[in-house]
Structure 1
Amino acid sequence: MRHKMQILYRYLPWLSALLAVDGLSVLLLWLADAKAFRALSAVVLLASLFLFGAVVWILIVRERKQMQAFEAFLLAPDEYHQEKLIKTLGVSRADGVLMLGTALKERQSACSKAEEALKDYEEYVESWAHEIKAPLFLLTLLLDNRRDEISGPVSFKIDYVRSRIQEFVNQMLYYARLKGTQKDYLFEWVSLLSCIEEVLGDYRPLLKEKKFRIDQQVPACRVYTDKRGLRFILAQAISNAVKYSGKNPRLSISWAEGKENSLLSIRDNGIGVKACDLPYIFEKGFTGDTKGGRKKATGMGLYLAKKMADDLKLTVEAGSEWGCGFELTLTFPKVAEQGNRES
């Protein structure tokens, strides 16, 4: 209805002119023969209404056909749709349609090239990430098999470097995954406890070296999500706890079930985040105060974790008090499943 009113408003001057001519004709007929006009007044009125309605109907149908042809041409600016649009609009607008068609084809070609370049980039990133895993795996084997032959400080430094390289590789891989045209998420029922244990295992040497006390209160439950994505989010939270730990470091992981949602909280007692920086920590590249151990921050970890959580339909929130720790909370929506609890 609104679209029809817009059409009438667009043609209002012409419709007003039509009504004026019709009114003038009625006036002349009345002046010529008043008696005949009285006898034919009903016919004249009906004819005027019919003429006005027919014109309005033709305009609406014409506008609708033009809009359909235009939308089809925008979606597929080929020769067929171009000729159809010119036929609908009229030959007088052919030059404009040809110019628009040329611009759309150029833009479409540019978009196709950009998509191909993006696809090549995604394939390269994935290939590089898989290739770099080989030397990282060899480094891990070396540490596991020769740790007794390496001094404690050196072993810790190698572990730290390996962990950082692995973290940056994962960030790059997941960044490409988030920005990619195709996202290979696999939603399934995942053991939350096993997922947490796997991530803690990856950071076990660093947690042990820094003498972390881990308080884990997560029952044997399952969540419906993408396992790789969830592991990435958990890894970012634990990595930050390690990087920004203080004296007597502690890591607390807890799970709370509600009627509609369930909450997973990961809290540390590290340096935390200032109140003025807290609203911006999920923004890309934001590092906040560069003092207090955050000089080497890239501002990408929590940004990617937030983007991943959005893709997985999870809510992620952060809380902190400067100098007293940092807490990351994931909210999982309730999903019905028979036997949700693991036996």
Structure 2
Amino acid sequence: MLKAFLKDRLLLIILYILNLASILLFFYLNVPANTEFFYPISIGMFFLLVYLVIDWLRYYPANSGVARQLRNQDAHLEAYTEEQKGFKELLSKTVGEQSQKYTELKEQNKERLYFLSHWMHHLKTPVSVIELIINKEEKTEALDKIQLENKRLHFSIEQGLTMIRMDSFENDFELKAVDLLSTLRKLINSRKREWIYQSIFPSIEFEEEQAIIITDSKWNEILIDQIISNAIKYSGEKDGNKKLVFQIERKAEHICLAIVDQGVGMPDYDLERVFQPFFTGENGRKYPNSTGIGLYLSKKIADKLGAAIEIQSELGKGTTVRIKWLAGKND
């Protein structure tokens, strides 16, 4: 900051020294016998130093406050000079205007999300009615296909609602001990028809009776369900031999879950972007129902839960998604 201060006043210092030299030269030319230079130079430099010290004391508080605010630290801006007061007033006016615009945009966004949320909740009603009608009718292949598509519609609606709820994640969040095995069994059982329809055989590989993790049970189910949905969506052709394996492993203070599918996989150049919103990559050109939302939501939820998530894939051979949680104590 001192370097910047001196740089800003370099022209003034040079002009002051030139002015002092000119005065001394004038008196020397008029009185050649007077060769005393040290005393007047000392007096002149002393007054220059006094001025710079006083100016520094007025310069430092305001500019140190600006520097702290640029480092995102709390600091009060103190203005001493008229120039500083003018900039402070301009800054206050700009901040006030931007705060007002931000508040207005926030309210508008809140209103849009409110109506969007209610609209999506209303969409769930006909989806539920269709499910009830299908369950009352005699089972046929056509009805099975309708029911499957209806479940996909329901899942898409829930995805949209999940994206809306992400803005208020902290208000609907409770960390506790959750049995990962129970969660997996629940999610697998909820998709029985899809396993049959896609000819996929899910299995859990774990030797212990419980796998306790520290997480929020509801959000954790959404996280895993997004990955399962992707594994089903990109399972490829039905050949009756595909497996979806849930491998649980205990590593020190963590529990790791690897969800291994035998689907179409992804090319290497897509892996770096799979967690970006609405990125569908190469598979998005082959599967029209790709949205690019599932893995994005998985990453967002995992980050909120403090879980680590990573993905590996090989084109034509399948995909492995790994999630790591902090382990809890078994009962």
Farther-moved stretch of structure 1 (245-254 vs 56-65): 56-65
In structure 2, the residue matched to 1:78 is none
Q: Which moved more, 1:306-315 or 1:247-256?
A: 306-315
Residues 120 and 156 of structure 1: CA distance in aligned 2, closer, same or farther (over 3 Å): same
Residues 72, 281 of structure 1: CA spacing in aligned structure 2 closer, same or farther, 3 A cutoff?
A: closer
What is the aligned partner in structure 1 of residue 194 from structure 2?
206
Q: Distance in 1 between matches of 2:100 and 2:283?
A: 44
**Structure 2 CA distance for aligned equivalents of residues 261 and 56 of structure 1:** 61
Change (3 A) 1:92 1:311: closer
- List per-residue Cα deviations over 1:163-222 (Å, max 9, x = no partner): 2122211221222233x3774351412322222233223322212333422220245222
Give the counterpart letter for 2:99 in structure 1: Q
Query: Matched residue of 1:280: which SS?
Result: coil
Listed as ranges, the matches of 1:1-343 within 5 Å are 3-21=1-19, 45=42, 51-67=47-63, 88-90=80-82, 94=86, 104-142=95-133, 146=136, 149-178=137-166, 180=167, 183-189=170-176, 190-218=178-206, 219=208, 220-245=210-235, 246=237, 247=239, 248-259=241-252, 261-290=254-283, 294-332=287-325, 334=326, 340-343=328-331
Q: Secondary structure at the match of 1:184?
A: helix
Contact 2:266/2:283 (<8 A) preserved: no
* Structure 1: runs of 5+ lacking an equivalent: 75-80
Equivalent pair of 2:284/2:290 in contact (CA under 8 Å) = no
Equivalenced residues, count: 317
Shift of 1:301: 1.7
Shift of 1:253: 0.5
Over 3 Å counting, the alpha-carbon distance change for 1:241 and 1:9 in structure 2 is same
**2-structure distance, mates of 1:303, 1:227:** 19
Structure 1 residues 20 and 221 mapped into 2: Cα distance closer, same or farther (>3 Å)?
Answer: farther
TM-score normalised to structure 1 length: 0.75
Q: Is the 8 A contact 1:320 1:327 kept in 2?
A: yes
Q: Which moved more, 1:272-281 or 1:17-26?
A: 17-26
Structure 2: gaps spanning 5 or more residues: 71-75
Query: Partners in 1 of 2:21 and 2:45 — Cα distance?
Result: 11
Alpha-carbon spacing, 1:56–1:230, altered in 2? closer, same or farther (3 Å): farther
State the TM-score, normalizing by the size of structure 2.
0.77
Distance 1:13 1:231, change over 3 A: same
Q: Which amino acid aligns with 1:264?
A: L
SS in 1 for 2:272: helix
The residue identity in structure 1 corresponding to 2:107 is: E
Cα deviation digits, residues 211-247 of structure 1 (max 9, x gap): 4222202452222233333222211111122222242
- CA 1:331–1:69: 2 relative to 1, 3 Å: closer
Contact 1:187/1:224 (CA < 8 Å) preserved in 2? no
Q: Is the 8 A contact 2:247 2:257 kept in 1?
A: yes
| Distance in 2 between residues matched to 1:136 and 1:198, nearest whole Å | 21
Distance 1:304 1:202, change over 3 A: same
Aligned CA distance change for structure 1 residues 303 and 291 (closer, same or farther; 3 Å)? closer
